[in-house]
Amino acid sequence: MTDNSKLKPYKSKHWVYRALVLAILDFILMALSFIAALLIRFDFKFSVIDQEYVDQALLVVPICAVLIIVLLFIFKMYNSIWRFVSFTEFERIVKAWVCFTIIVFVASVIDEKITGIRRLPIAVWVMAVVFGFVSTTALRFGFRFINFFNRDKSVTKDCSNIMIIGAGACGKDAIHEIVMSRHVNARVCCAIDDNPVKIGREIDGVPIVGNREDIPKIAEEYKIDEIIFAIPDAKGVDRKEILDICSTTGCKVRVIPGIYQMIDGSVTVSNIRNVEIIDLLGRDPVKANVERIREYITDKVVMVTGGGGSIGSELCRQIAMAKPKLLIIFDIYENNAFWIERELRAKYGDSLNLIALIGSVRNTNRVNSVLDKYRPDIIFHAAAHKHVPLMEGSPNEAIKNNCGGTYKMAQAAIKYGVKRFVLISTDKAVNPTNVMGASKRICEMVIQMMDRKAQAMYDRGEIKVRTTFSAVRFGNVLGSNGSVLKIFEKQIAAGGPVTVTDKNIIRYFMTIPEAVVLVMESGAYAQGGEIFVLNMGDPVKIDDVARRMIKLSGFTPDVDIKIEYTGLRPGEKLYEERLMDEEGLRETEENKDISIARPIPMDDEEFVAQLDELLEAAKAETAGIKQLVAKIVKTYSPKNEEL
């Protein structure tokens, strides 16, 4: 482990040493400026200079040198890293010298006899100030130019040729960072921008040579190896179109993320990432009402079941930002819980009241014990088995964990006065062809039934707190464990082949942060019994996703990397649906990306009886469990041989 206490003094001494050297150089330059000014004023004839001028100069030079050093220090001109010097430092130097000139003028007016300043010719003062300003500025910018020339020499002949797309502020920062970096063996050859006014101009010596239509031609002309997309605020449609054009060049393509994804908003080489599928979806990121979310989460006890999973861990991250009274991470997998707890403690320290608990949602005693002790106000229920093919082989586990776990959590929520209960559901619950999707549809039915039960109990005075139940339904999330994106990335890195189940299979996609923030916002809108449906844009063909990812990695599909079609897996269907025919859909007034499905009427007593029978059968490892599922979920359509 590194001892930071030993590093800090070293860094401090290093800074003091460099600042001291720079201050000495400034002192010398100030003295030389006055000497040069005197010599020029008297035509370089030292013998004709009046001794009184020499005496006054000997008095004034040390005072003025110390004064400018103090002013430069006040304006933090000894703190900068000079190989990155920019207009900001130039502006500070100007301010320091303006202050210097004003102070000298005021001092000469106040007490001419003491300072003797006005006895030097005005021309000497003017030239000394000009020479001093130029020399102190040149000293600092000289570091940058020396670094630039050394950097240019260090770039080898086999370096990567880079094209920057976007000649705005982000593009300029990217060019500057690459040019000034000592660790990147690359050369920025050209930039692209759709603004015709910019074409033909330069950024840091890099020519802006065309617009998006010119990308293939320019990439070939300049022998480009890598393209960097530097328009973080581009609309989704424009981003997709430009990246599609880039994919035809055979160049590796990378992206600079939006400012909200960067810690301090600055562009560095480490910020530049590979193209992700979200860049290719052709839609803008969803927007959420953050204030509405904070209103109902801040200072509340919030519990996340499955808190270490892909969705659960992101829920924990975003809940932590809303400053809850207590965040409870509840997960059966200790490693998952450990890592998200460690991450949040490292980020928030003592400012976040956090506890990670191990337990199963299937264990009634454990669930009741936790809820009785901590009395959560809000529960986000993300614990579930989600992998379709695995659950086809273990259907009883899907029922026990998904249906049984949800039922037990919902019962405990009412018993211990939880105010809001939000179920994480899936579009696979709509007209399911697999047991995982059918189990999640049963979970939705549990939520709606339990909401009606909670209302009835509250009306009868049996409970003091009315638990509001709701569910949120969305599709595939990018970057989750076992997601198609992760699989494709590994297959491309291994040189292929990339496996696609069917050439025509399509899916809805959304990033994990997008899905989670809408889940949290949906919880704020819940009045009871709603199934919220998230807008995920248009569905995307998985085959297209695979081909784009291969191209944007610098390879040619079916040539460099093969694509193999493996056939639909057990329980998998070609397309997912967001709604059942009977449900219908209405948008929420607050957010167009969140809609509400109309509840389907059902007999609660009959449903509870069927659910109890199903859970008992699952415990007994019944072979015909799917038949019982089909009795409850009328839209469930497994293969005939499975019934």
Residue 353's pLDDT is what? 96
The average pLDDT across 414-433 equals 93
Residue 596's pLDDT is what? 79
- Euclidean distance between CA atoms 188 and 203, whole angstroms: 10
CB 634 within 8 A of CB 582: no
- Beta bridge partners, 192, equal 165, 210
Query: pLDDT tens digit string along 44-98?
Result: 776 667 777 777 778 788 888 888 889 888 887 777 655 556 667 788 888 888 9
- Euclidean distance between CA atoms 372 and 369, whole angstroms: 5
Residue 2's pLDDT is what? 41
Residue 3, C-beta contacts closer than 8 angstroms, at least 6 positions apart: none
CB 123 within 8 A of CB 130: no
Amino acid 115 reads T
The average pLDDT across 372-389 equals 95
- Euclidean distance between CA atoms 361 and 411, whole angstroms: 11
Residue 184's pLDDT is what? 67
Pairing of strands 468-473, 563-565: unpaired
Q: Which of 8-22, 163-177, 383-397 shows the highest mean pLDDT?
A: 383-397
Mean residue pLDDT across the chain: 82
pLDDT at residue 394 is higher than 80: yes
Helix or strand or coil: residue 609?
A: helix
> 165 vs 600, which has greater pLDDT?
165
Residue 366's pLDDT is what? 97
Residue 513's pLDDT is what? 82
- Residue 589: band (very low, low, confident or very high) from pLDDT cuts 50, 70, 90: low
pLDDT at residue 153 is higher than 60: no
pLDDT at residue 384 is higher than 90: yes
Residue 226, C-beta contacts closer than 8 angstroms, at least 6 positions apart: 160, 161, 162, 163, 186, 251, 252, 253, 254
Alpha helical stretches, state H, 460-561: 484-493, 512-525, 542-552
- Euclidean distance between CA atoms 451 and 445, whole angstroms: 10
Residue 639's pLDDT is what? 64
The average pLDDT across 291-311 equals 93
- Residue 514: band (very low, low, confident or very high) from pLDDT cuts 50, 70, 90: confident
What value, to the nearest 5°, has the Cα angle with vertex 233 and ends 539 and 278? 25
- Euclidean distance between CA atoms 358 and 332, whole angstroms: 5
pLDDT at residue 274 is higher than 50: yes
> Percent of the chain at pLDDT above 90?
35
> 356 vs 14, which has greater pLDDT?
356
- Residue 359: band (very low, low, confident or very high) from pLDDT cuts 50, 70, 90: very high
Residue 341's pLDDT is what? 96
Residue 136's pLDDT is what? 84
Question: Domain segments of the chain: what residues?
Answer: 14-146, 160-275, 290-475+510-536+579-632
Query: pLDDT tens digit string along 219-260?
Result: 999 999 999 998 888 887 888 889 889 988 888 888 887 543
Residue 11's pLDDT is what? 44
The average pLDDT across 352-372 equals 97
The average pLDDT across 549-567 equals 86
pLDDT at residue 581 is higher than 50: no
Question: Could you name the CATH architecture of 290-475+510-536+579-632?
Answer: 3-Layer(aba) Sandwich (3.40)
Residue 288's pLDDT is what? 73
**H or E stretch at 331:** strand 326-331
Fold of 160-275: Rossmann fold (3.40.50)
Fold agreement between 160-275 and 290-475+510-536+579-632: yes
pLDDT at residue 285 is higher than 70: no
> 462 vs 639, which has greater pLDDT?
462
Longest dimension (CA), the chain: 116
pLDDT at residue 278 is higher than 90: no
Residue 267's pLDDT is what? 44
Pairing of strands 509-511, 530-534: unpaired
**H or E stretch at 187:** strand 186-192
Residue 129's pLDDT is what? 87
Residue 372 half-sphere exposure toward CB, CA atoms < 13 A: 6
- Euclidean distance between CA atoms 414 and 421, whole angstroms: 9
pLDDT at residue 130 is higher than 50: yes
The average pLDDT across 514-525 equals 86
Residue 482's pLDDT is what? 62
Residue 276's pLDDT is what? 66
Residue 324's pLDDT is what? 96
The average pLDDT across 313-331 equals 95
Instruction: Report phi then psi at 144, rounded to 5.
Output: -65, -45
User: Would you give the distance in Å from CA 510 to the centre of its chain?
Assistant: 14
> 289 vs 172, which has greater pLDDT?
172
Weakest-pLDDT range from 46-60, 97-111, 250-264, 512-526: 250-264
Residue 232's pLDDT is what? 82
